[in-house]
Amino acid sequence: MSEKNVIPNDLSAFWMPFTANRQFKKAPRMFVAAKDMHYTTSDGRSVLDATAGLWCVNAGHCRPKITKAIQEQAAELDYAPAFQIGHPKAFELANKLVNIAPKGMDNVFFTNSGSESVETALKIALAYHRVKGDGSRFRLIGRERGYHGVNFGGISVGGIVPNRKMFGTLLTGVDHLPHTHLPKDNAFTKGEPEFGANLADELERIVALHDASTIAAVIVEPVAGSTGVLIPPRGYLQRLRDICTKHKILLIFDEVITGFGRLGTPFAADYFGVIPDIMVTAKGLTNGVIPMGAVFVKSEIHDAFMNGPEHLIEFMHGYTYSGNPIAAAAGLATLETYQEEGLLTRGADLASYWQEALHSLHDAPHVIDIRNIGLIGAIELEPIKGEPTKRAFAAFVKAFDSGLLIRTTGDIIALSPPLIIKKSQIDEIVERLRTILNEVE
Ligand SMILES: Cc1ncc(COP(=O)(O)O)c(C=O)c1O
């Protein structure tokens, strides 16, 4: 048997997720440390984090309370079986979470990621109708350009074509609403776009086609993030809510990005004043530090399962690490940090400064749209003819090299800094971006 020559720092074994592996491994970008708003690269440079890692490090990096909680929990109770046995911190965290959740969302199911939260939410929706004696409701409705993680349910209801097309037959019984990106009407809108609320009425067309009695749930991101920040037209989400209520279809908000203060409110449901039936979260729940997700449900949904013989498991679903002690400790310390520093609403104080700063780039080269809401922003660039994504990726690499972490998707630069950001750091992001946009071809 030939022995593989594995040298230290050999990059070959790790098949990196959502990464151009061969390109990356020729010119790797590595972080080795982080503190508050900054990363440190392997060559010792400081990089300003304009994306909160991957939309998750809402309280900034290596926050002492969270670090300490994880260290202490690992030394005290490292793991407890998740099924038929509990540990106090999972219950404590669930209670604290429902206290900050929109009214009526009184129960929480723990998972380990956004993708798992999505699968869990879809399964709860299907099973809910069944336990209510309405099992003919099997269809799930997603939306074009939606991102709901990478598992089979999530890519089935999702609408990002490259994430779907390689994987054959996905879930059957799925349909999609149109996306709400209308650049001709809404380009350079500050906040919620004026046009497009009527796109929610497409749900009526889908209901007419399939009949409401076959539809279990609609899932949307209140603000679509991964597809490049698509902000819902004013009134759109309320219209979806009304149509779902009218036809007894469950409305699921995927708040994996928008949850935990990103819009200047605890959840996007609060921001838009529209309460879903099920709310999917992850990322900011533990400040991105330890994998954890949480699915919030209205008490009517939870209670519908609590019938039948008490010795039987009510919902045949769960993960080895659901409510894991270390994740629960991280979640509790994260919530405390958010509360002590007012981070669940701090975005509201900064939103108009953020908005004006971003929109000052309207005259920078290649810019064809700028969008913003809460502490989220997107700068859409004109693609290079015949080479989509190349210009934005060049901007990403230039930004990294010059000490700024941005995220790109297609030819869109997406921004979502930690909620502890200072105004001077917002200015720095914008100044650096202007320089970068002047430099990229
Ligand atoms: C809206 C949304 N849903 C689900 C996910 C999937 O989360 P994860 O990568 O933790 O599985 C993401 C990740 O970016 C997301 O933005």
pLDDT reading at 54 higher than 50? yes
Question: Which atom of ligand 1 has the smallest separation from the CA of 118?
Answer: 4
- Structure token pair of residue 17: 């997720």
What pLDDT is recorded for position 1? 41
Ligand 1 mutation target, pool 117, 120, 226, most atoms within 8 A of CB: 226
Burial of 343 (0-12, 13-18, 19+ CB in 10 A): buried
Rounded to whole angstroms, the Cα distance separating 327 from 290 reads 6
Residue 81 one-letter amino acid: P
Least confident of 1-5, 82-86, 395-399, 428-432: 1-5
Quick one: average pLDDT of 125-131?
Answer: 98
Cβ neighbours around 6 below 10 Å, total: 9
Percent of the chain beyond pLDDT 90? 98
Quick one: average pLDDT of 120-146?
Answer: 98
Give the Å distance between the CA of 27 and the centre of ligand 1: 27
What pLDDT is recorded for position 172? 96
pLDDT reading at 2 higher than 50? no
pLDDT reading at 138 higher than 90? yes
**Pairing label, strands 31-35, 250-254:** unpaired
What pLDDT is recorded for position 5? 54
Give the Å distance between the CA of 54 and the centre of ligand 1: 9
Average pLDDT, the chain: 97
Give the Å distance between the CA of 225 and the centre of ligand 1: 9
Burial of 280 (0-12, 13-18, 19+ CB in 10 A): buried
Question: Which atom of ligand 1 has the smallest separation from the CA of 258?
Answer: 1
Give the Å distance between the CA of 203 and the centre of ligand 1: 24
Give the Å distance between the CA of 216 and the centre of ligand 1: 22
Give 13-44 pLDDT, tens digit per residue.
Answer: 999 999 999 999 999 999 999 999 999 999 99
What pLDDT is recorded for position 9? 73
Confidence (pTM): 0.97
Give the Å distance between the CA of 115 and the centre of ligand 1: 6
Cβ neighbours around 71 below 10 Å, total: 12
Question: Which atom of ligand 1 has the smallest separation from the CA of 291?
Answer: 10
The CA distances from residue 327 to 56, 66, 283, 313, 334, in Å, are 14, 10, 12, 24, 10
Residue nearest atom 13 in ligand 1 by C-alpha distance:
149
Which band of pLDDT confidence, cut at 50, 70 and 90, is reported for residue 242? very high
Give the Å distance between the CA of 142 and the centre of ligand 1: 15
Quick one: average pLDDT of 355-376?
Answer: 98
The CA distances from residue 160 to 119, 225, 278, 420, in Å, are 17, 12, 22, 31
Quick one: average pLDDT of 184-189?
Answer: 97
Quick one: average pLDDT of 151-173?
Answer: 97
Residue 82 one-letter amino acid: A
- Structure token pair of residue 124: 């709860």
Burial of 28 (0-12, 13-18, 19+ CB in 10 A): exposed
pLDDT reading at 286 higher than 70? yes
Rounded to whole angstroms, the Cα distance separating 292 from 110 reads 7
Question: Which atom of ligand 1 has the smallest separation from the CA of 149?
Answer: 6
Give the Å distance between the CA of 1 and the centre of ligand 1: 41
Give the Å distance between the CA of 303 and the centre of ligand 1: 27
Strand ordering across the sheet containing 46-49: 31-35, 38-41, 46-49, 404-405
Burial 352-378 (b: 16+ CB within 10 A, else e): eebbebbbebeebebbebbbbbbbbbb
Question: Which atom of ligand 1 has the smallest separation from the CA of 224?
Answer: 1
Strand ordering across the sheet containing 367-373: 367-373, 376-381, 412-415, 407-409
Question: Which atom of ligand 1 has the smallest separation from the CA of 257?
Answer: 16
Ligand 1 mutation target, pool 16, 54, 55, 115, most atoms within 8 A of CB: 115
Ligand 1 pocket, CB under 6 A: 113-115, 118, 147-149, 221, 225-226, 254, 256-257, 282
What pLDDT is recorded for position 416? 98
Give 378-396 pLDDT, tens digit per residue.
Answer: 999 999 999 999 999 999 9
Rounded to whole angstroms, the Cα distance separating 375 from 418 reads 9
Rounded to whole angstroms, the Cα distance separating 344 from 329 reads 19
Rounded to whole angstroms, the Cα distance separating 266 from 260 reads 5
Residue nearest atom 3 in ligand 1 by C-alpha distance:
148
Rounded to whole angstroms, the Cα distance separating 292 from 91 reads 14
